[in-house]
Amino acid sequence: MKKTWFLLTALIFFMFVPSQAQEIWEGRGVWAHPGDFGKSEKEVEDFFSLLKKCHIQIVVPLIKDTAGHIFWHSRRFPEAIHPEYKDFDLLRAITNVAPRYKIKVHAWLCDFPEGKDSPAFKSHPEWAMRNPEGGLTSEEKLTPEQIYGPVWMCPAQRPGYTDQWLLPMIQEVVQNYPVEGIHHDYVRYPGDVAPDSYCFCDYCVENYLLYNFFYYPSRPEAAVPLKNIRLRQESNWDQDFTVRPANWDQMSREEKARFILEGKSINRSDLDYFFYEMRCDAITRFVREAWELASAIRPDIEMSAAVFINPMKSGRFIGQRWTDFLPWLDITMPMTYRSHFQGSFEDYLLYLGDTVRAQVEWVAERSTLLVGLDAHYIFREELEPWEKAIQLLKSEKEARSPDLEKELAGLLQANIAYLARFSAPRAKELKARVELFRRGKIDREAMAEALRRILNDPPPGFFPGDKLIRTIEVVRQAKGQGVVIFAASHLSRKKLWGALEKAFSFAAQPAEEKIPARNHLSIRTWKGRQK
């Protein structure tokens, strides 16, 4: 009898005490472009109701793009407003609608890239980053054929783009729009183009020596040599010495850049170490200042950032050692997209788990970690046969060969067969187009267009939602605190909202309680002490 009572009591206890699984907190976010929200408050409302249906708690809308266009009605920078948004204040509509859905809004700024025609660059070309030859990032080549577009602005130069343009923009948004947070993107140097080539603008070149205190400002010409007392040369570093070359003032920008990248302070090429550190410091300083400025206006403001997957490597190559600026981030979103990994989808899942576990260690609970996943590159296997066929169709006449044309014909057949698995009528339609193309009735461009139409509006299932669900599950297993998906437009075009809803279907918590802000407690205390 006693035993039965015990079991019954235990049963009642477990029925009413929430289980561990129900208490699991999970952050769920999505990056969204202006096009996702539409052009009216009604369309914005529709988008938010879709987000709500999929249990999204935070949306990150783009409000400053890499061309320097902005998507709010700025009073201070009206010339930067995107020409198609002069009559529609997108951020106003978003912040009007969001509270009704209890979804957080972190306004997303592409911090340092600007367009060649942007008002910032046109009015202040001296704010742009320069390479050792004095060139701009926009002239760099990404591959032998591909010119890199954006002009990057120097993060370090003061006064310059950072304090005269970008920080005032952030200030204006926080002042005039009830966003919950500011989101940094491109908060770095342009290492995907030229890791070692920036920035050698006039300011950075001169500031390098002073920032690292490589000479005495009271005696700029004085050369203080290394004093060798100890056996190992490098161990004599602590009796101060100078590094400024005697002919510094006569050296060209290029010579100074060579000196910085290849020169020695003591016994081996080590001056570049100070250059990379200086870049990391410039980015960290900006992130700190953005928070200081924003939180002075709205103490509850949150900050988040899209960062590269590995802060050690990104510190060296793009000046983004994000472990340095975690104190000023409430939410850290490493873009752990498949495009940053080699190999098969299964390889990716394995590497993703390892990477998220490393990210958990790097973040060390100093910020909320929402792992950035993509809804495009994970479909490499599905996309490749179509993209390859489009590429072959677009090839110049001289580049074509019987072998390549045979490969093209094979790809077209395989694509018809794949499409037929999801929509017989559309496969039939494509088959008819291919037949017309084969008989020379439509040209290569028309054939390529027919393939593009399928990719832009595929039948449901064409991009398997299971892949998205599996990547999210890997993040859970690796103890990431949540995920943020890049991007809403891919979810729409690839018809993946249903899969996302499924992935997020369990234990959907009330949104208003979610995404715990750290509130920068340590920094606040420090600031408090300053007063």
H/E element, 109: strand 104-110
Using CB under 5 A as the binding rule, whether residue 70 contacts Zn ion is answered as: no
Stretch touching Zn ion by CB under 5 A, among 62-70, 196-204, 414-422, 453-461: 196-204
What six digits make up the tokens of 179? 């966003």
Nearer to Zn ion, 157 or 481 (CB): 157
Q: How far is the CB of 157 from Zn ion (least distance, A)?
A: 5
User: For residues 109 and 402, what is the distance between their CA atoms, to the nearest angstrom?
Assistant: 48
Using CB under 5 A as the binding rule, whether residue 193 contacts Zn ion is answered as: no
Among 32, 187, 201, 349, binds Zn ion (CB under 5 A): 201
Q: How far separated are the first and last CA of the chain, in Å rounded? A: 68
Give the contacts of 146 (CB within 8 A, at least 6 positions apart): none
Using CB under 5 A as the binding rule, whether residue 500 contacts Zn ion is answered as: no
Stretch touching Zn ion by CB under 5 A, among 198-206, 288-296, 332-340, 400-408: 198-206
Nearer to Zn ion, 198 or 462 (CB): 198
Using CB under 5 A as the binding rule, whether residue 204 contacts Zn ion is answered as: yes
Quote the DSSP letter at residue 216.
B
Using CB under 5 A as the binding rule, whether residue 91 contacts Zn ion is answered as: no
Q: How far is the CB of 130 from Zn ion (least distance, A)?
A: 7
Stretch touching Zn ion by CB under 5 A, among 56-64, 197-205, 222-230, 466-474: 197-205
Q: How far is the CB of 66 from Zn ion (least distance, A)?
A: 19
Nearer to Zn ion, 189 or 504 (CB): 189
Interacting residues with Zn ion between 151 and 170 (CB under 5 A) = 154, 157
Using CB under 5 A as the binding rule, whether residue 412 contacts Zn ion is answered as: no
Using CB under 5 A as the binding rule, whether residue 59 contacts Zn ion is answered as: no
Burial 154-193 (b: 16+ CB within 10 A, else e): bbbbeebbbeebbbebbbbbbebbebbbbbbbbbbbbbeb
Using CB under 5 A as the binding rule, whether residue 105 contacts Zn ion is answered as: no
Stretch touching Zn ion by CB under 5 A, among 3-11, 149-157, 235-243, 457-465: 149-157
Inter-residue contact 501 to 53 (CB < 8 Å) = yes
Among 173, 193, 199, 485, binds Zn ion (CB under 5 A): 199
Inter-residue contact 122 to 79 (CB < 8 Å) = no
Calculate the dihedral angle through the C-alpha atoms of 283, 289, 292, 297, rounding to the nearest 10 degrees.
Answer: -120
From residue 113, how far is each of 31, 129, 420 by CA, in Å?
Answer: 18, 10, 43
User: For residues 383 and 380, what is the distance between their CA atoms, to the nearest angstrom?
Assistant: 5
| Residues of the shown chain interacting with Zn ion in the complex, contacts defined by CB under 5 A | 154, 157, 199, 201, 204
